[in-house]
Amino acid sequence: MTSGMRAWGQGAVIGMLMSGLAACAPTGPLQCKIYTSGVMPIINRSGSPVVRAGINGHPVALIVDTGAMVSLIGTSHIDPLGLEVLGAFGSIQGVGGGELSQAVKIDSLEMGPSKATNFAAIAAGKFGASINGLPIVGLFGNDFLSNYDTIIDIPDHVVRLVRTEDCPSPTPGWGEKIHTIHVTHDPSRYLRTMLEVKINGHAADATLDTGSTNTLITMSTARHAGVTREMLKQDPVSLAWGVTHDPLKAYHHLFSTLEVGDIVFHNVRLTVVDDIPEGDVLLGSDFMRHYRLWIGRGSKLYAQHDTDIPPNDPDRQAAE
């Protein structure tokens, strides 16, 4: 639905640091401590993770989007949510096109046990869908998520925002088999989670983008993987939309392999588009359908398949 979002404006401050209740859980003789700043149920059953929130007292839903530089509120929701317009911010660019944006003031935002008050955000893009009676009014981007370790557990339908201290394991509380994937968080790319993947054995630069329902790759990347335009003409074709809701042509091609670290997907259908801002691949939420991810701010991303999650895991028990 979104992805590759970046902003070209200068001087705006996105005040997304959460204040409020934080739970501290010592977990063993080393006194490992886990500070939990948010526990947010995922309220949709497919696609990008959507969580429940409140803005200025209005119940809303927001997409959790690791590929977005900034958090956004759709322009059509400025008046219904009672947001104060502070002024022009600049232009944003994502998959599907770009548009001008505005800085707005939010009086209060509730997300799980956390709350923020009196801060600036960006209003841009088109968000018109709803879920469980809640309007999807925007997204939480990397300006918010990068303040925490973000645990996105699609199999168990929960997003957690945590910080850890004095823990011998980078994923305290997880057991069984865990995949370690090398990543970077380059400040010049707004600290988004970047990694190398292989498509049909050919390396490509990817951005972890939970805001994209499907994994997207560029025409150039598909060509390097041995897929020609003539081959794509034989594939299913659809229209896709970015955050600005401008349509783009998308081909759905069956690739032999997609490798993410030591995880290998066989006979996987990926979406091929002409171009993606700043990269070759957007690794979408379809990759996470059977995995929970622990996204830290260091050089490693941790993934665990749903069949490897212990049955006594609290999130697994809550989901059953």
Q: Show which of 170, 189, 208 is a domain's final residue.
A: 170
Name the pairing type of β-strands 6-7 and 84-94.
antiparallel
Count of the separate structural domains present in the chain: 2
Structure confidence by residue, pLDDT tens digits, 252-284? 999 999 999 999 999 999 999 998 877 899 999
Do 214 and 165 fall into the same domain?
no
Residue 282 lies in a domain: yes
Q: Which domain holds residue 256?
A: 179-305
| Tokens matching residue 134 | 């809640």
pLDDT in tens, 283-319: 999 999 999 999 998 999 999 999 999 888 888 887 7
Q: Which two tokens stand for residue 90?
A: 């600049």
Residue 72 forms part of a structural domain: yes
The reply to whether 10 and 158 lie within a common domain is: yes
Q: Please tell me the pTM assigned to this model.
A: 0.85
User: What CATH number has the domain bearing residue 290?
Assistant: 2.40.70.10
Tokens read off for 284: 């979408």
Answer positive or negative: Cα dihedral of 33, 38, 43, 45.
negative
193 assigned to some structural domain? yes
pLDDT at 30: 64
Asked if residues 16 and 71 have their Cβ atoms less than 8 Å apart, the reply is yes
Res 120: pLDDT: 85
Query: Would you state the pLDDT for residue 25?
Result: 62
Asked if residue 186 and residue 166 are part of one domain, the reply reads no
Same domain, 164 and 198: no
Helices and strands per DSSP (H, E), number in the chain: 4, 24
Distance, C-alpha 205 to centroid of its chain: 17
Residue 23 pLDDT? 53
* SS3 label, residue 307: helix
pLDDT at 162: 92
Q: Which residue ranges of the chain lie beneath pLDDT 70?
A: 1-30, 93-98, 241-246, 320
Separation CA 190–CA 217 (nearest Å): 20
Asked if residue 310 belongs to a domain, the reply is no
